[in-house]
Chain A
Amino acid sequence: MTGYALAPAPVVGDGTTARSRARSRWRRWRGPVVGLVVVVFVALLAALPAPRTSNLPLAPDSTAATGARAAAQILEGQGVDITFVRHLADVQAADGPDTTLLLAGDANLWDEDQIAALGELEADLALVDAGSAAAQLAAISYAPSQDPAGGASTDGSAVAGVAARCDDPDAVAAGSVTASGRLQAVPPAVVCFRGPDEDPTQGAYAVTTVAGQRIAVLASAGPLTNAQIDEAGNAALVLRMLGRHPHLVWYLPAPFDTAGAPTGPGVGDLVPPVVGVLALQLLLVVLVAAVWRGRRLGRLVTEPMPVVVPSAEATRGRGRLYRRSRSYGHAAAALRAGTATRCARRLGLAGSAPAPQLIDAVALATGRSTHDVAALLYGPPPTDDSALARLARDLDDIESEVHRS
């Protein structure tokens, strides 16, 4: 509506140089950059040195009393290459000559096919705490009288110092072991560590050869555990049993290790190898698109917003106050006063007209009895919600009747 102001002097540049921009950028980003570096450093520190440990029973990385890290470390120290696997497919992959397969517990092996697959391996077998596998593969059964479940018996009930009393060189070298479990085998299986007054077919350790595969069975897991490996000749027996070959596959079946062998190609095998690289390239495209869309053309402009004060706020607050304190008297008085004022104005009375005069005038205008009108306009206050609502409606009625006339 008015003329243009005098043209101001043009602005060139934003007063920064490449150096000052670089400095301000560094100042802005150094905090996040230093934080990121620290996070990466800490992550590396956490990831690098600590060997993996677990709490699984009979696992070669478990330092618990029921674990077998001690045995595993001694074996590694003697030059045995240990491969720790949890799945049968991995066992089959790691199979080969000069290999011992340790089956540490068969509680998670549900399928006879899985156990049969172990029998088809090239490797020698060492079965610890694996009753059903021993029964199926080597016809060596766990004696029900002492350890019916065939579970790991690593408690303190182990019989100390049971002598070998057989001619297996490993057992003879061990001399005596602490063993709680008992197993039963018939020749040609060699049974060792039987009690002094026991049947010669019962013992804690048995060795047999089935179809060229040497199968050593240890009735209880006790000698292998960290807790008992240093007792009697446990260490010697375990090390000789597991260290016969330079390779040891330590198989601790995982729960739900169902697949004996892969039944078909997985999703990953069906996808052509180009897809992964393509996804990487698409990631690059997405990154570039993000930078494209992410950079604003100048900052957001803010609007100083006014304070919003709703108009009837105080009135509503007053209404709530009436309601909370159940001031039916106050509320009714306000409604009656409002109606009385409007009726008086309508009927040409002064606002200060006395009550009887107003009552008479209203009664005359509406045709109601003076008693009703007086009760409505000057009656006792209501005592509950419904009475108040009824009063309000009645006042509306009388007001409309006055206005109609």
Chain B
Amino acid sequence: MALTWRAVVLAALGIPAVLVVPVTGTVLLWAVVVVAVCVLDAALAASPRQVAVARTVPSSVRLGEPATSEVTVTNVSSRRLRAVLRDAWPPSSGAVAPRHRVDLPPGDGRRLRTTLVPTRRGDAHADRVTIRSLGPLGIAARQASLEVPARLRVLPEFASRRHLPSRLARLRELDGRAAVQVRGAGTEFDSLREYVIGDDVRSIDWRASARRADVVVRTWRPERDRRLLVVLDTGRTSAVRVLDAPRIDASIEAALLLAALATRAGDRVELLAYDRRVRARVAGTGGPRLMPALADALSTAQPELIETDWAGVVAQVRQRLSQRALVVLLTALDPAAVEQGLLPVVGQLTDRHQVVLASVADPELAALSRQRSTAAEVFDAAAAERVGLERAAVAVRLRQRGVEVVEALPAELAPRLADTYLALKAAGRL
């Protein structure tokens, strides 16, 4: 049972009556009248439980883009349904105007649309649909909340896709630059073409030139069909908020850009999200189905407040990869965590694979190391300086073991990682 503003007006209409007959009995009588009218009105309302409700949502939507939740209501009672309906979603789903008025004769139905603009990655589970059925006078109402399950998967934003065109252009340059580039490991024979001035004379194919009137050079292109494994660390260091977003968000952006680039370059991409167990995995998917599969798998990846088991990561990588591949570790260059976890086992990865470690740098550390106004701040600056030195030292030790280390601010990590990938590809080190 619920009341409307009309019930308040009805109660207020007793004021003139009280002014005419100013005794307590008038008030009591009026209260009884108000209660009786409300009960009667509610009793005459259509039952909110005699309504068929179905909710339809898109299976997934990209973060920040609008989606529509569609609720279909059908009046299956014999009374006219005048109701207010609420399509309830969690706050982060960003439901715009989730309340709807419906006026349905018996047997009639209607679709109600609620726009959702989600603000958080992951699965959004719809809450109940509440129906408040008003009586014929519109004074009182009956209310019921129905469980109508629905799930909207919010995919990562992939804001770094704006960097993709420029990197793809670089990739094409890489292919065409073949004649300038010396042959070497990681390149394969592409085609023969006429010599133009400036080409490396060492790439002239004399045998082919002999068969034709022109001088012909061999062109090379980077090897295709290399394997690439992206390991997303979902351990405690990924929960750290850098510039008001957890590290894992920037890592996911970087993973998506890298995967998009690599799959255009003809490489096979796999993904593993791991802390102490596998949180998400994409393998054996290629071509146009890869990016949706990656987005779907990464949408529910959330930081766990546990220490990452790097030995387990290595075991997973060895299990997945039999031949040489590029292993990209998206984690944090946290001196203590790396020294305890990754450094002892990284040798097992680098002896078979090319390893890249991509880490989200923290601008606060730099700001901290520059402040000087109070003694406490100088101590903080010293601590930040020490942490910076330790990070640099750990990065050096990783490089000594053959790991490429990429450290960048959240917004720059994705393009920097893509550039590193292109550089490795150009150098034939994949």
* Residue in chain A with minimal CB distance to B126: A301
A311-B364 contact, Cβ under 8 Å, with A14-B146, A301-B88, A338-B369: yes
Identify A297's interface contact among B27, B143, B382, CB under 8 A: B143
Assess A299 versus B5: contact at CB under 8 Å? Given A4-B57, A277-B24. Answer: no
- Asked if A315 and B380 sit within 8 Å, CB to CB, the answer is yes
Within 10-44 of B, Cβ neighbours of A (below 8 Å) are at 10-12, 14-15, 18-19, 22-24, 26-27, 30-31, 34
Q: CA A386 – CA B2 in complex, angstroms?
A: 69
A281 with B15: CB separation less than 8 A = yes
Known: A301-B91, A320-B379. A315 touches B18 (CB 8 A): no
Contacts of B241 in A (CB 8 A): 308-311
Given contacts A274-B22, A338-B385, whether A316 and B380 have CB atoms under 8 Å apart is yes
Given known A14-B49, A14-B145, contact A306–B23 (CB-CB < 8 A): no
Q: In the bound complex, do residue A334 and residue B382 qualify as a contact, i.e. CB atoms below 8 Å apart? A: yes
Contact B59 A2 (CB under 8 A): yes
Partner of A10 from B34, B74, B240 at Cβ < 8 Å: B74
Task: Check B372 against A392 for contact (C-beta < 8 Å).
Answer: yes
Other-chain contact of B144, A2, A14, A309 (Cβ < 8 Å)? A14
Q: Are B146 and A5 in contact (CB under 8 A)?
A: no
Q: Taking CB as reference atom, which chain B residue is nearest A396? A: B372
Quick one: which of A233-286 are within 8 Å of B by CB?
Answer: 273-274, 277-278, 280-282, 284-285
Of A87-95, A165-173, A288-296, A353-361, the stretch lying at the interface with chain B is A288-296
Determine whether B269 belongs to the interface, using a CB cutoff of 8 Å to chain A.
no
Which residues of chain B come closer than 8 Å to A330, judged between CB atoms?
Answer: 382, 386
Q: Are A334 and B383 in contact (CB under 8 A)?
A: yes
Option from B1, B14, B22, B379 in Cβ contact (under 8 Å) with A323: B379
Interface size range on A against B: 35 or more
Q: Residue A209 at the B interface, CB < 8 A?
A: no
Q: Which residue of A lies closest to B3 (CB)?
A: A292
Residues of the B chain whose Cβ atoms lie less than 8 Å from the Cβ of A7 = 54, 56, 72
Nearest residue (CB) in B for A9 is B54
Complex Cα–Cα for A113 and B87 (A): 76
CB nearest to A316 among chain B residues: B380
Of the listed stretches B169-177, B202-210, B273-281, B387-395, chain A binds: B387-395
Chain B residues 360 to 405 lying within 8 A of chain A, measured CB to CB, are 362, 364-365, 368-369, 372, 375-376, 378-389, 392, 396
Known contacts A7-B56, A292-B3, A306-B246; is A298 also within 8 Å of B8 by CB? Answer: no
| Closest Cβ–Cβ distance, residue B394 to chain A (whole Å) | 14
Decide: B146 and A312 in contact? CB cutoff 8 A.
no
Number of interface residues of B (CB under 8 A): 95
B157 to chain A, nearest CB (A): 12
CB distance from A63 to the nearest CB of B (A): 39
Tell whether, in the assembled complex, residue A278 and residue B15 are in contact, meaning their CB atoms are under 8 Å apart.
Answer: yes
Please pick, from B24, B129, B149, the residue contacting A280 in the complex, using a CB distance under 8 A. Answer: B24
Does A41 make an interface contact (CB < 8 A)? no
Complex: chain B residue closest to A324, CB-CB: B379
A196 within 8 Å of B (CB atoms): no
A11 close to B (CB within 8 Å): yes
Give the residue name and chain of the B residue nearest to A301 (CB). Answer: B127
Query: Within 8 Å CB of A389, what residues of B?
Result: 372, 375, 378
Q: What does the 1/0 interface line of B141-176 toward A look like (CB < 8 Å)? A: 001111111100001000000000000000000000
Q: Which 9 A-B pairs have the closest CB atoms?
A: A298-B130, A319-B380, A331-B382, A13-B49, A319-B383, A385-B375, A274-B22, A338-B385, A10-B52
29 A-B contacts (beta carbon < 8 Å): A1-B155, A5-B58, A10-B74, A11-B53, A11-B146, A14-B49, A14-B144, A14-B145, A278-B18, A280-B24, A281-B26, A281-B27, A284-B14, A292-B4, A295-B2, A295-B143, A297-B130, A298-B86, A299-B88, A315-B365, A315-B384, A318-B383, A321-B383, A322-B379, A332-B382, A337-B389, A338-B389, A385-B375, A388-B375
| Chain B residues engaging chain A, CB cutoff 8 angstroms | 1-5, 7-8, 10-12, 14-15, 18-19, 22-24, 26-27, 30-31, 34, 49-62, 65, 70, 72, 74, 76, 84, 86, 88-92, 99, 127-130, 132, 143-150, 155, 236, 239-242, 246, 292, 302-303, 305, 362, 364-365, 368-369, 372, 375-376, 378-389, 392, 396
Residue ranges of A at the interface with B (Cβ–Cβ < 8 Å): 1-5, 7-14, 16, 273-274, 277-278, 280-282, 284-285, 287-289, 291-292, 295, 297-299, 301-303, 306-312, 314-316, 318-323, 330-332, 334-335, 337-338, 341, 351, 385-386, 388-389, 392-393, 396
